[in-house]
């Protein structure tokens, strides 16, 4: 009888602990990254020679609940970034300062979209994980 009571107590404590453990795993602490897939590929510059740009973008959010909202608004975010990237010229992207300026403009564009749709910017940083022009 004592063994049965002990087993029930152990099972009950395990069942009660499972939801708490699942919640801890569902919302990991620290920054979350959202990769914007597929890569952004397009033409740049007005010149007679066609030039291309390929950009891989990741968005960082420190709020784990923001990731789902960012993914939901992916089409609007992509539209804003495609428009921004399409206005670039090879001369602007030739320097590190030009790339850093583009990164800041891209972050502002993403935050503006999310501010309009969600009421808050949700994104803490934008990273270029790859940026190639040719």
Tell me, what's the pLDDT at 27? 54
- The pTM assigned to this predicted structure is 0.77
39 is in which domain, residue-wise? 32-133
C-alpha 18/C-alpha 8 separation (Å) is: 16
| Segment 61-119, tens digit of pLDDT | 999 899 999 999 999 999 999 999 999 999 999 999 999 999 999 999 999 999 999 99
**39 falls within a domain:** yes
Report the number of distinct structural domains present in the chain: 1
User: Can you list the alpha helix ranges (DSSP code H) found in 27-133?
Assistant: 66-72, 74-86, 96-118
**129 falls within a domain:** yes
* CA 74-57-117 angle, 5° bins: 30
**73 falls within a domain:** yes
């Amino acid at each position: 009888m004592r063994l049965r009571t002990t087993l029930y107590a152990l099972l009950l404590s395990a069942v009660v602990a499972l939801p708490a453990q699942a919640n801890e795993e569902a919302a990991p602490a620290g920054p979350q990254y959202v990769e914007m897939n597929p890569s952004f590929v397009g033409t740049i510059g007005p010149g007679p020679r066609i030039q291309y740009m390929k950009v891989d973008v990741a968005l960082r959010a420190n709020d784990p609940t923001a990731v789902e909202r960012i993914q939901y608004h992916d089409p609007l975010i992509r539209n804003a970034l495609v428009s921004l990237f399409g206005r670039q010229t090879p001369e602007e992207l030739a320097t590190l300062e030009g790339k850093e300026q583009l990164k800041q403009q891209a972050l502002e564009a993403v935050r503006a979209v999310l501010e309009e749709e969600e009421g808050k910017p949700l994104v803490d940083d934008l990273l270029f994980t790859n940026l190639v022009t040719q």
